[in-house]
Structures are given as C-alpha cells and as structure tokens.
Amino acid sequence: MVRIDTEKLASELFNALKGRYCLDPLTNRYPEISIDEAYSISLKLLEKRLKEGEKVIGKKIGVTSRVVQEMLGVDQPDFGFLTSAMHIPNKSVVNIEESLIQPRAEGEIAFVLSKDLKGPGVTPEDVLESTESIFPCFEIVDSRIEDWKISIQDTIADNASCGVFILGERKVNPRDIELDNCKLKVYKNGDLISQGEGSAVQGHPCNAVAWLANTLGEFDIPFKSGEIILSGSLVPLEPVTTGDEMYLELEGVGSAEVKFI
C-alpha cells in the first residue's frame, strides 16, 4: 500500500489556494486515500493558513442535502473550518480573479453560538439552546480540484471546498423561527433560480449542526462561544462568474447579497 504523505498534499492544496490554480483530484493519484487521511490533510492545510495570520472564527458542514450530494457525487456530509479571511461583509463586491478559482454560490442558515459545545452526545435541542442568533448566509464555495471532480476525500482534504461567506445584517433568535419549515429563495441577476426549506439539511438545520459538533468531538475539537456555524445549503449550488449578482431571502430572518466582478 502506498503511504499517503498528508503533509505534502496539504502543501499542494495550500499552494493552489494561494496561487489560484487547480490540482488533479487527489483520489486519482491515491485511490486508496482514506477519509481519516483526508481530514489529516485538512487540518494541516488549516495550520498553514493560521501561520499566515488567519484565525478560526467558526466551522461549516458541507454536502448535507441530498440535492448537493447528487450534484457533487458524494454520499455523506463533511466539515471544514471558517477563518477570518473568508468572512466578507454583506453587499460586498468580489473580484473573482483576485480571490477565487471556480466559485459556486449556496444559500444557508448560519448559527452564532452563545456558549461552547463539544461532542459526543450533542443533541439538536442542545444546539438550539446554545445558539444566540441565526443569520441568512451566502457561502461561496470554491474547489482547488480541477472541474469540481471531487470524491468525498477530495473535498474533505480541501477544507470542505471553502471559499468565502457573507452573512446578512439582520440576526434573529432561532427559537422564534420554525427552522425546518423556514423557506429560502435565491435570485441570480434578478431571477428566482432556486428555493428550499430548512428541512433540506438532514431534516432540520439543528440536526446538521449537532452532527457537526459530534463529528468534531471525535477529533477533540469543540464549538466555541461566538463562533459562526454554517449548517449546509438548502438549495443546489449555482456557478457564478464575472458580472453576476446574487441575492437571497430567508423567510422571517432577512436577506444577503453579493456581486461578482
């Protein structure tokens, strides 16, 4: 069996991130790569970002909904880390050539925590009780893997295909909203292109966040008070390019928007 050099692959992904270029799928070169090895690569990739001055400000769960899993050809969720460099203000103008490679927009619900949480044993009720507020969110995912030809190991290693994210300006108490029935509408250049409900992510967004807390607990990684947790897309991923304007409305919560140049 070929030994997987997780440090080398983390360096390759880090250099691709900084240089804005793509790599052949890791699983093409190393078909035997395991999910545990992919998470090891992801953690080493994070270390390199932190050495550059970035700070962890939250976590994200990826590929939670069936529609996104089918789009990407994966069969289970994954997780990644949110850093200070990824968070951009609402109504931002993003220069794709300066910061992204092959971006896709997804709409979701962001949780901001009021207390620490650590798995195992975290329940959806624990998540709700530990959440200070929720926000509408655009996550602009981006892959360092050529043409998004990813397996679950590829996207895990690539920090769950994180790009940047935008939070709406209005925060809401999650106990005032039926999160599983909360409707999201996404518009591209003024046209409604997709819509979904909170139940799209594992039946309820709190289920998805609890899964993430418990999965991170296996790595001895907690959620921390004040962190931002992205709970997964409620709609299909939408490719974006120069000139596109994206807008979303989360029923009872608010809106978020971003323009690309």
Q: What is the mean pLDDT of each run of 10 residues along the chain (261 residues)?
A: 86 97 96 93 98 97 73 77 98 96 96 96 97 97 95 93 95 94 97 95 93 92 97 94 98 97 98
Give dist(CA 205, CA 234) in Å, integer: 9
**Token digits for 244?**
């596109």
Query: What is the residue extent of each domain of the chain?
Result: 6-260
- Residue 51 burial (C-beta neighbours within 10 Å; 0-12, 13-18, 19+): exposed
Nearest to 18 by CA among 51, 60, 63, 61: 51
Query: Residue 6 CB: number of other CB atoms within 10 A?
Result: 20
Q: Which residues pair with 110 in a beta bridge?
A: 135, 230
Q: Taking the model in full, what pTM does it have?
A: 0.94
pLDDT at 71: 65
The helix (run of H) or strand (run of E) holding residue 134 is strand 131-141
Give dist(CA 136, CA 134) in Å, integer: 7
Rg of the chain's alpha carbons, rounded to an integer?
17
Q: The domain 6-260: what is its CATH number?
A: 3.90.850.10
If you write DSSP's letter for every residue of 139-161 in order, what string do you get?
EEE--SBGGG---HHHHHHTGGG
pLDDT at 2: 59
